[in-house]
Amino acid sequence: MSAEKSNSGEVTPVEYMITAIADMLDGLGHVAVGARSPIPGSAAHLAAARSGGRLRVSILGSRRHSSFTDGARELFDCAGQGRIDAFFLSGGQIDGGANINLVGVGDIAAYPRAEARFPGSFGSAHLYYVVPRVILFTQEHSPRVLVDKVDFVSAPGTSPSGVHRPGGPQALVTPRCVFRFDRDRARFVLSSVHPGATPEDVRKATGFDYDAPASVPVTPRPDADTLRTLRGEVARTVADTYPAFAAKAWGIGR
């Protein structure tokens, strides 16, 4: 599902994703966001607005919303020192063990002549290991993306015992639902479904197995103050870094 312009009468799937992620950031000190991650970027700005300025947001590649002066290298150094509380990752494939694939699908041994190529792993493996709260996200909830097993592991969701790993996955947010990740069992648990979706819809659209409670909660609808902040202050802020996204989601800049 793609971002669609919202109106005052309905909450779009993208807005449910943003507000669900923002709720996971409450109480944190420093959140970093990739240059091509407008949904987490919007969530981070929303959480910052609700924190009264206590949450620091660093968006890679942004001049206004990052204090990094050495780009990705400074981000990696900051994360390695434990000075980033949350980061966000996606992938062309995500499997039930929270492994992500950012390289390609098909015969990866034939790379770069694989069936399909993705942008590349960049620093995903490093950040997945050292940032304590990594939130996965995808705008396409389908068996094509949420697979039983990724074709290539760009960054592993878990590590063998004895491996020092302070970081790892906390949750996976999609246009249909929120999964939380159980690190002890190395599998996802369905946490809530967004309004308009059902647990049966989610099961049918998911290519990996996961756990679910007998009664699955519905993702809470954001309250009026949250929507007003998101569609006003946050949308204008997001438009500075992600103008195409802000225009499509909220009509900002049109």
Taking only the tens of pLDDT, the chain with its 254 residues reads 344 555 557 999 999 999 999 999 999 999 999 888 999 999 999 999 999 989 999 998 787 888 787 778 889 999 999 999 999 999 999 999 999 999 888 876 666 666 777 878 888 999 999 999 999 999 999 999 999 999 999 999 999 999 999 999 999 999 999 999 999 999 999 999 999 999 999 999 999 999 999 999 999 999 999 999 999 999 999 999 999 999 999 998 75
> What number of other Cβ atoms are within 10 A of residue 209's Cβ?
10
DSSP letter string, 177-239: EEEEEETTTTEEEEEEE-TT--HHHHHHH-SS--B--SSPPBPPPP-HHHHHHIIIIIHHHHH
Question: Looking at residue 108, what DSSP letter applies?
Answer: G
pTM comes to 0.92
Annotation: CATH topology of 13-249: Glutaconate Coenzyme A-transferase (3.40.1080)
Tens of pLDDT, residues 114-139: 677 787 888 899 999 999 999 999 99
Domain ranges of the chain: 13-249
Per-residue model confidence (pLDDT) at position 61: 76
Q: How many residues does the chain have?
A: 254
The interaxial angle of helices 38-51 and 13-23, nearest 10 deg, is 50
